[in-house]
């Protein structure tokens, strides 16, 4: 017969400790957060071995009175939360009053603390959660917490610890994440007597990022800022050339708290979607500030996961802040295209390593955090790229038949936007000027188009450099930007001779279901007989031969896109259209067309194809001289 009994509070603490204190790094996190909550300006975090034997966190915060020091280790003892109402708006890192109880239950703790203004301080010694000694102590204002022999009384848990090396690495990473979240606090981390990092605490995000992530990583970050529906975003995101092999360098903070969030990850990655190489991940240090009521931090014991009350608003805030920073990259009044291009051309040589401090600043790094991010045409809070509402369920076959054929395609679908001043290439040319960028005519560096090699690469002489441009990749990017700028008014061209296509049965169904979307893309399609469709208009510049493959690809993307967001599917489809409407390697291309492409690349506006591949590479005279052994 089972007997139910209430656990001894001491045992309960040990169980709770399992949630809060998983490993030494958890101790570091809790103690450092307590120091932040105490208003410390300077914090020193020390550990020995893997942290299990010794962790010390010293702060110059408000300290504790002798009475508080006596009760701080009791379960649910907190000065930060009074009642359940407080849970709705938590501004401090801690609030459960659990950490000190949990840590002290499984270790030997020594607390030395002196409240600001008090004559003397207090020392409290605990073992397995029991106070062994408590006495007045002479000590500076603030608090020092020493945690020794973690898990000494819970051998099972001790067994689960990894090597000292990996536990120490986790400790340092945790300390760094804490420090990176608080540029206004100086944090020093010392491991086995060696300084691991030191943040200056001058309140500037850039010096904090620089100090903690290192000069090299910091130099590849672009300033981000934006606001959407009360969610403020500041910080940095990596430039497209600085993608990483994993997500380790994505640091997100919500109201000063380091968080892990699939939502924010997705927003960051989606904003990078069309510039970053497939398989690479952006890095970032992004700080989100929002009303405490808009985020629930009480969903995870370690509080690294949070729940936003309005996920869409938060997603958009991050998405547009990052997108805006990326779109602003390299757009400056004096055009110096070779820097970016050179960087792409020489991936092995670290371009940034050789940057001077002035370059570093010019790269946007040293700008004040409050300074607005380099912006494209719209404030970050407003969509930079118009958002399509394209993928609505819609378009029955009947609608499709009624809707499409009666439209005079050219007139109606040409964008009304005044910035789209049209074509600069001769009539009949396939190259259309990018409407968004038409507004700013930049002066280009002196250059000479030498010619085209292999009907694929445009060769340009640029001072002491040779620029090789992949004409298809560059044109694809130009098309993509143009299409995106047109939103749902993508220019269509009527076909002199309509084309008949016979899609696979599953594609036919999708074509019928997505009539509206295809219409927005510039396709005019009607059912024709049992299984065929007649195509009367296509997105501008699409070759008749590309129609069937394009439709096939679009259908495939629609199918795959069910799990993706609306914006992402739309982008995917624009990729297809951009690609199919682009001149191809192997095609004859007129001089005017080549000129337009070169112009776009030299202006710095076109750097990566929509899949993130570089559109150009540079060979310097030095490179050539070396090849010919003129110099060694
Ligand atoms: P919580 O942080 O959730 O309140 P803790 O168990 O971490 O719970 O801490 C309990 C209480 O001890 C805190 O509410 C705070 O009043 C006090 N305290 C802990 N660490 C410090 C510190 N470094 N400086 C001042 N007070 C502290
Ligand atoms: Mg705490």
Question: The domain spanning residue 141 has which CATH number?
Answer: 3.30.565.10
For tokens 């000129």, the residue is: 595
- Averaged over 362-368, what is the pLDDT? 31
CA of 236 to the centre of ligand 2 (A): 28
Task: Locate 343 and state its tokens.
Answer: 């960087």
- Averaged over 126-141, what is the pLDDT? 95
Residues 405 and 441 in one domain: yes
Q: Is the CB of 256 under 6 A from ligand 1?
A: no
Q: In this predicted structure, which of 262-276, 298-312, 336-350, 551-565 has the lowest mean pLDDT?
A: 336-350
Q: Is 440 exposed, middle or buried (0-12, 13-18, 19+ CB in 10 A)?
A: exposed
What's the CA gap between 448 and 97, in Å, rounded?
70
CA of 38 to the centre of ligand 2 (A): 10
Asked whether residue 68 is assigned to any structural domain, the reply reads: yes
Residues 458 and 525 in one domain: yes
Asked whether residue 3 is assigned to any structural domain, the reply reads: no
pLDDT at position 78, please? 80
What residues have a C-beta under 5 A from ligand 2, the ion?
Answer: 34, 94, 99
Residues 79 and 159 in one domain: yes
Asked whether residue 57 is assigned to any structural domain, the reply reads: yes
CATH number at residue 267: 3.30.230.10
CA of 8 to the centre of ligand 2 (A): 23
pLDDT above 80 (res 462): yes
Residues 176 and 233 in one domain: no
Question: Which tops the pLDDT comparison, 370 or 161?
Answer: 161
Asked whether residue 414 is assigned to any structural domain, the reply reads: no
Residues 274 and 388 in one domain: no
Q: Is the CB of 60 under 6 A from ligand 1?
A: no
pLDDT above 70 (res 333): no
pLDDT at position 184, please? 96
Helix (H, G, I), strand (E, B) or coil at 131: strand
Residues 184 and 212 in one domain: no
Range of 129-143, 203-217, 324-338 with top mean pLDDT? 129-143
- Averaged over 284-292, what is the pLDDT? 94
DSSP 79-94: SS--SGGGGGS--SS-
Q: Which of 372, 425, 418 is CA-nearest to residue 598?
A: 425
CA 26 from chain center: how many Å? Answer: 26
Question: Which residues on neighbouring strands pair with residue 457, listed in sequence order?
Answer: 453, 470
* Average pLDDT along the chain: 78
CA of 73 to the centre of ligand 1 (A): 9
Domain boundary among 137, 166, 199: 199
Domain boundary among 178, 199, 220: 199
Asked whether residue 480 is assigned to any structural domain, the reply reads: yes
Helix (H, G, I), strand (E, B) or coil at 7: coil
Confidence of residue 16 (pLDDT cuts 50, 70, 90): low
Confidence of residue 223 (pLDDT cuts 50, 70, 90): very high
Residues 497 and 592 in one domain: yes
- Averaged over 91-108, what is the pLDDT? 84
pLDDT above 60 (res 361): no
What's the CA gap between 410 and 424, in Å, rounded?
18
pLDDT above 60 (res 120): yes
Domain boundary among 199, 221, 249: 199
CA 467 from chain center: how many Å? Answer: 31
Confidence of residue 182 (pLDDT cuts 50, 70, 90): very high
Asked whether residue 417 is assigned to any structural domain, the reply reads: no
CATH number at residue 513: 3.30.1370.100
pLDDT at position 431, please? 41
Q: Which residues contact 396 (CB under 8 A, 6 or more apart)?
A: 512, 513, 515
Half-sphere exposure at residue 483, Cβ-oriented, CA atoms within 13 angstroms? 28
Give the CA angle between residues 519, 524, 528 to the nearest 5°: 130
Question: Which tops the pLDDT comparison, 52 or 352?
Answer: 52
What's the CA gap between 155 and 243, in Å, rounded?
42
Specify whether the CB–CB gap between 70 and 115 falls below 8 A.
no
Q: Is the CB of 36 under 6 A from ligand 1?
A: no
Q: Is the CB of 13 under 6 A from ligand 1?
A: no
Q: Is the CB of 142 under 6 A from ligand 1?
A: no
Task: Locate 341 and state its tokens.
Answer: 């291009």
Q: In this predicted structure, which of 314-328, 395-409, 464-478, 584-598 has the lowest mean pLDDT?
A: 395-409
Question: Which tops the pLDDT comparison, 444 or 328?
Answer: 444
Residues 180 and 216 in one domain: no
Asked whether residue 371 is assigned to any structural domain, the reply reads: no
What's the CA gap between 529 and 532, in Å, rounded?
6
Nearest-atom index, ligand 1, CA of 95: 3
- Element spanning 524, H or E: strand 524-528
DSSP 35-78: HHHTT-SEEEEEEETTTTSEEEEEE-S----HHHHHHTTSTT--
* Residue 388 per-residue DSSP state: P
Strands 524-528 and 532-539 come out as antiparallel
Range of 415-419, 533-537, 589-593 with top mean pLDDT? 533-537
- Element spanning 145, H or E: strand 142-148
pLDDT above 70 (res 246): yes
Specify whether the CB–CB gap between 226 and 319 falls below 8 A.
no
The phi-psi region of residue 193 (left if phi > 0; otherwise alpha if psi is between -120 and 50; otherwise beta) is left
Q: Is the CB of 157 under 6 A from ligand 1?
A: no
Q: How many CB atoms lie within 10 A of CB 70?
A: 16
- Averaged over 565-583, what is the pLDDT? 86
Specify the number of domains making up the chain.
3
- How does 297-319 read in b/e, with b if 16+ C-beta sit within 10 Å? beeebbbeebebebeeebbbbbb
pLDDT at position 6, please? 61
Q: Give, rounded to a whole angstrom, the gap between the first and last alpha carbons of the chain.
A: 88
- Averaged over 76-99, what is the pLDDT? 70
Residues 192 and 296 in one domain: no
Q: How many CB atoms lie within 10 A of CB 120?
A: 11
What's the CA gap between 170 and 176, in Å, rounded?
10
pLDDT tens, residue by residue, 509-535 = 899 889 888 998 889 999 888 888 999
Task: Locate 272 and state its tokens.
Answer: 């990078």
For tokens 């409240």, the residue is: 115
Q: Is the CB of 97 under 6 A from ligand 1?
A: yes
For tokens 């169980």, the residue is: 15
Q: Is the CB of 38 under 6 A from ligand 1?
A: yes
Question: Which tops the pLDDT comparison, 231 or 77?
Answer: 231
Q: Which of 131, 134, 115 is CA-nearest to residue 123?
A: 134
pLDDT above 70 (res 311): yes
Helix (H, G, I), strand (E, B) or coil at 144: strand
Specify whether the CB–CB gap between 608 and 275 falls below 8 A.
yes
Task: Locate 437 and state its tokens.
Answer: 């960028």
pLDDT at position 370, please? 32
Which domain, by its residues, includes 167?
9-199
pLDDT above 60 (res 591): yes
Task: Locate 549 and state its tokens.
Answer: 């493959």
pLDDT at position 584, please? 85
Question: Which tops the pLDDT comparison, 298 or 158?
Answer: 158
Question: Which residues on neighbouring strands pair with residue 352, listed in sequence order?
Answer: none
Asked whether residue 623 is assigned to any structural domain, the reply reads: yes
Question: Which tops the pLDDT comparison, 227 or 440?
Answer: 227
pLDDT at position 583, please? 86
Residues 136 and 260 in one domain: no
Half-sphere exposure at residue 91, Cβ-oriented, CA atoms within 13 angstroms? 5
pLDDT tens, residue by residue, 30-57 = 999 999 999 999 999 999 999 999 999 9
What's the CA gap between 567 and 236, in Å, rounded?
23
Confidence of residue 492 (pLDDT cuts 50, 70, 90): confident
Residues 194 and 230 in one domain: no
Residues 464 and 316 in one domain: no
pLDDT tens, residue by residue, 604-628 = 888 888 878 889 999 999 999 999 9
Confidence of residue 13 (pLDDT cuts 50, 70, 90): low
pLDDT above 70 (res 357): no
pLDDT tens, residue by residue, 188-215 = 999 999 999 999 999 999 899 999 998 8
Q: Which residues contact 358 (CB under 8 A, 6 or more apart)?
A: none
């Amino acid at each position: 017969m089972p007997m139910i009994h209430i656990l001894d509070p001491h045992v309960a603490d040990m169980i709770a400790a399992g949630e809060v204190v998983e490993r030494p790094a958890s101790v570091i996190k809790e103690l450092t957060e307590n120091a932040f909550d105490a208003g410390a300006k300077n914090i020193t975090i020390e550990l020995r071995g893997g942290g299990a034997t010794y962790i010390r966190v010293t702060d110059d915060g408000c300290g504790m009175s002798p009475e508080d020091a006596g009760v701080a280790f009791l379960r649910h003892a907190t000065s930060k939360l009074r009642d359940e109402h407080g849970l709705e708006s938590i501004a401090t890192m801690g609030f459960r009053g659990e950490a000190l109880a949990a840590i002290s239950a499984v270790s030997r703790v020594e607390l030395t603390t002196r409240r600001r203004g008090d004559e003397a301080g207090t020392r409290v010694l605990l073992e397995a959660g029991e106070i062994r000694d408590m006495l007045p102590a002479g000590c500076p204002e603030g608090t020092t917490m020493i945690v020794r022999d973690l898990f000494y009384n819970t051998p099972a848990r001790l067994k689960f610890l990894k090597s000292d090396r990996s536990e120490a690495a986790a400790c340092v990473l945790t300390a760094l994440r804490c420090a990176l979240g608080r540029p206004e606090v100086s944090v020093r981390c010392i491991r086995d007597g060696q300084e691991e990092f030191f943040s200056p605490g001058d309140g500037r995000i850039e010096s904090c990022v620089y100090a903690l992530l290192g000069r090299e990583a910091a130099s590849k970050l672009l300033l981000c800022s934006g606001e959407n529906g009360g969610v403020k975003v500041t910080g940095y995101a990596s430039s497209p050339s600085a993608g990483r092999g994993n997500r380790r360098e994505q640091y997100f903070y919500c109201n000063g708290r380091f968080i892990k969030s699939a939502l924010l990850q997705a927003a960051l990655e989606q904003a990078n979607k069309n510039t970053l190489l497939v398989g690479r991940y952006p890095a970032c240090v992004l700080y989100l500030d929002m009303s405490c009521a808009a985020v629930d931090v009480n969903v995870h014991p370690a509080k690294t996961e949070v729940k936003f009350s309005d996920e869409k608003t938060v997603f958009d805030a991050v998405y547009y802040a990052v997108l805006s920073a990326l779109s602003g990259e390299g757009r400056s009044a004096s055009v110096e295209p070779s820097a970016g291009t050179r960087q792409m051309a020489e991936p092995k040589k670290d371009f940034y390593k050789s940057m001077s401090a002035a370059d570093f600043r010019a790269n946007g790094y040293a700008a004040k955090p409050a300074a607005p991010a380099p912006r494209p045409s719209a404030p970050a809070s407003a969509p930079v790229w118009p958002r399509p509402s394209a993928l609505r369920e819609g378009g029955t076959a009947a609608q499709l038949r009624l809707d499409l054929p009666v439209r005079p395609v050219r007139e109606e679908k040409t964008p009304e936007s005044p910035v789209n001043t049209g074509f600069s290439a001769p009539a009949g040319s396939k190259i259309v000027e990018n409407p968004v960028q038409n507004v700013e005519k930049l002066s280009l560096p002196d250059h000479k188009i030498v010619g085209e090699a292999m009907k694929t690469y445009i060769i340009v002489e640029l001072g002491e450099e040779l620029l090789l441009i992949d004409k298809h990749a560059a044109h694809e990017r130009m098309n993509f930007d143009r299409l995106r700028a047109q939103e749902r008014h993508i220019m269509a061209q009527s076909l002199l001779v309509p084309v008949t296509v016979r899609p696979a049965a599953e594609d036919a169904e999708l074509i019928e279901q997505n009539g509206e979307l295809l219409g927005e893309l510039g396709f005019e399609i009607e059912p024709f007989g049992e299984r065929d469709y007649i195509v009367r208009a296509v997105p501008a510049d699409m070759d008749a031969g590309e129609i069937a493959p394009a439709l096939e690809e679009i259908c495939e993307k629609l199918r795959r896109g069910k799990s993706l967001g609306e914006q992402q599917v739309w982008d995917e489809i624009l990729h297809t259209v951009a690609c199919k409407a682009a001149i191809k390697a192997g095609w004859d291309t007129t001089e005017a067309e080549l000129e337009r492409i070169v112009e776009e690349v030299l202006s710095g506006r076109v750097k990566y194809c929509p899949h993130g591949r570089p559109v150009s590479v540079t060979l310097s005279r030095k490179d050539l001289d070396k090849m010919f052994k003129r110099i060694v």
